[in-house]
Amino acid sequence: MRIRRKMLAGYGVAFALLGVVLLWAIANLVSLGRATDAILRENYRSILAAEQMLQTLARQDKLVRDSAMGLDAEALPAFRKEEAAFFESLAKAKDNITIHEEGGVLETVETEYLAFLGAANGVLMGGTASGPNPLADYQSAVLPGGDRAADACRALKSLNEDHMFSASMNAGRVASRAIWSTLAVGLVAMVLGIGFSLGFSRRLVHPISELTRATRRLTEGDYDVRVPAGGADELGALAQGFGAMAQRLGEYHKMNLRRLLSEQRQTDAVLKSISDGIIVLDADFHITRVNPAAANLFRCEAGEPASPHLLEVVRDQKVFDYVKRQAESGPSAGLNEEDRVLALEREGNVRYYLYDARPVQSEDKATAGTVLVFRDITRLQELDRMKSEFVMAASHELRTPMTGLEMSLGLLEERVGETLAAEQSALLETARQDVARLKALINDLLDLSRLESGTIDLQLVRVPLKSIAGKTVSLFDAQARERGIHLSCDIPEEVAEVKADPNKIAWVLSNLVSNALRYVDAGGHITVSAEQAGDWVHVHVADDGKGIPEEYHARVFDKFIQVEGAAGTGGTGLGLAISREIVRAHRGAIWVDSSVGRGSTFTFTLPVFTMKTGDTA
């Protein structure tokens, strides 16, 4: 049955109960009406007739008495009129015999009245028949006859009054029975109605509650939930639809699960097969996955550990800061490779790991986590160290013969220079220049390898930057003037003193200024400036020379890197590498901003001198 029909049936039952109560009340009213009607019909009319008969009798009695006393000579016609009225009332009373004894009483009334009439007629007809004393006749025959007839009328009246009283008592009983029975029927109907409504509404709502419960279980992931099919109404159809939907969702969920599991297995296999250590972090830097290589490295559990914080496992603030920075600022904010090396001591050996962090972004571009990779570069570090040591040893060994060669060439030129032919003299000059270049290269190599291997100690002191820069720039004044280049040093007094090795910083500044002089044309400008930014002083060497293409911006600080077209300028390609090593040794950084044709600005940072670190002047 459809819900609408069910509801209509429910209303129908309620209306039927209401109808029963209504019918019952009407029936009671009808019976009450009947009871009161009986009073009127059965008794009141008889009482009225008895009363009229009594009055008629009284008037007739008076007429007879007046006539007997000679007071009313014309009493007869009036008497006849009253007589007719009496019989009329008597007929009415006879017409309305409703009580068992009433017939007998009326007979007595009629008999007594007729006797009264006989006596009265005798008196009224005028003394002839009745003798000379009509008054005596009246008193002896008429008056007692009239009294008897009146008594009979009164008996009729009181019989009806008694019956009326009992009928009214009966009507009262009927009324109170009607009230109570209507109340009882109403109550029964109400109880039945409430019971029916409760049962009916429960039956109606039951499938909806089942559906609600099933929906809740479905949202909790129970895809096996089903709703009993129920009836053939709309809710039954809904339950069937729900079952089909849950089944489909279950299948879809299983399919997704299978796909996810297979993807996870693939990822696991990939992670296991990678020899680099890989740690996967969530957005709060808690570890969600670790591959066996990383687990071995940090002695933690591979697979999915109980989400410890990165710092609990890696225990290196620098790594954590880097990861945090990468996660917050995106993959572009990187550190140089040299600054991303983690040294770990394992079984008495120190091993070096180059780490890198890649943020994982969610669909809304928020950082959902980070993948941290540790690559073992111990062998590369070792090779680098060996290379530096070899370069240092080779340059050291080469420097002495090269100095000797330079001196010999100088002496040769001095002694026989004037006797040589022009061609020979040019050859000698070329040899001298080559030796000078080689010597410069060997010196640079030696310096660089010393710096890289940490053999050169820094003499860190409290020093005003303005004085180092001023002195260094003044060394290049003559050269700049000669080439028509405007060289200036513009460092404000308020720039804080730095904690640095003055000779090494002068070396960096010399490299940068000499480079600028090399790549700035006549009429160009070179400016050395500085400003303070927090705990650091930024030193700039800016020129408006030929500039450096963007792809070289990071690489120019690597060894032997020369921008195309710069060869032949007499450089060794090591100046900027040496400068970077020196700046790094001061814990600072160096970079270049440049665009081709507009010039370059090299910037390096030095730490501001502070008393709290226990620095000594």
> Which residues form the interface with ligand ADP (CB under 6 A)?
511, 515-516, 519, 543, 545-546, 548, 556, 561-563, 566, 571-577, 600
CB nearest ligand ADP: which residue?
571
Length of the chain: 617
Strands 341-346 and 590-595 turn out to be unpaired
Nearest distance in Å: CB 544, ligand ADP: 10
Nearest distance in Å: CB 548, ligand ADP: 5
The angle that helices 102-124 and 75-95 make with each other, rounded to 10 degrees, is 170
Q: Which is nearer to ligand ADP, 379 or 555 (CB)?
A: 555
Q: Which is nearer to ligand ADP, 63 or 542 (CB)?
A: 542
Nearest distance in Å: CB 560, ligand ADP: 8
What CA–CA distances, in Å, run from 128 to 73, 118, 145, 334, 335? 15, 15, 20, 163, 166
Nearest distance in Å: CB 342, ligand ADP: 29
Nearest distance in Å: CB 593, ligand ADP: 11
Q: Which is nearer to ligand ADP, 149 or 556 (CB)?
A: 556
Is there a contact between 231 and 9 (Cβ–Cβ < 8 Å)?
no
Is there a contact between 586 and 453 (Cβ–Cβ < 8 Å)?
no
Q: Which is nearer to ligand ADP, 257 or 596 (CB)?
A: 596
The single residue listed with the structure tokens 């989400």 is 307
What CA–CA distances, in Å, run from 195 to 191, 198, 444? 6, 5, 105
Q: Which is nearer to ligand ADP, 21 or 548 (CB)?
A: 548
Nearest Cα to 106, choosing from 122, 121, 86, 120? 86
Q: Which is nearer to ligand ADP, 580 or 586 (CB)?
A: 580
Nearest distance in Å: CB 610, ligand ADP: 32
Nearest distance in Å: CB 284, ligand ADP: 43
Q: Which is nearer to ligand ADP, 81 or 540 (CB)?
A: 540
Nearest distance in Å: CB 549, ligand ADP: 9
3-state secondary structure of 355: strand
45 vs 397: CA distance, rounded Å: 161
What letter does residue 542 receive in the DSSP assignment? E
Nearest Cα to 575, choosing from 554, 594, 559? 559
- Dihedral over Cα of 78, 81, 86, 87: its sign: positive
Q: Which is nearer to ligand ADP, 435 or 485 (CB)?
A: 485
Q: How many CA atoms lie within 13 A of 525 on its CB side?
A: 10
- Buried b vs exposed e over 578-598: b needs ≥16 C-beta within 10 Å? bbbbbbbbbebbbbbebeeee
Strands 536-543 and 367-376 turn out to be unpaired
506 vs 463: CA distance, rounded Å: 12
Q: Which is nearer to ligand ADP, 163 or 450 (CB)?
A: 450
Nearest distance in Å: CB 565, ligand ADP: 8
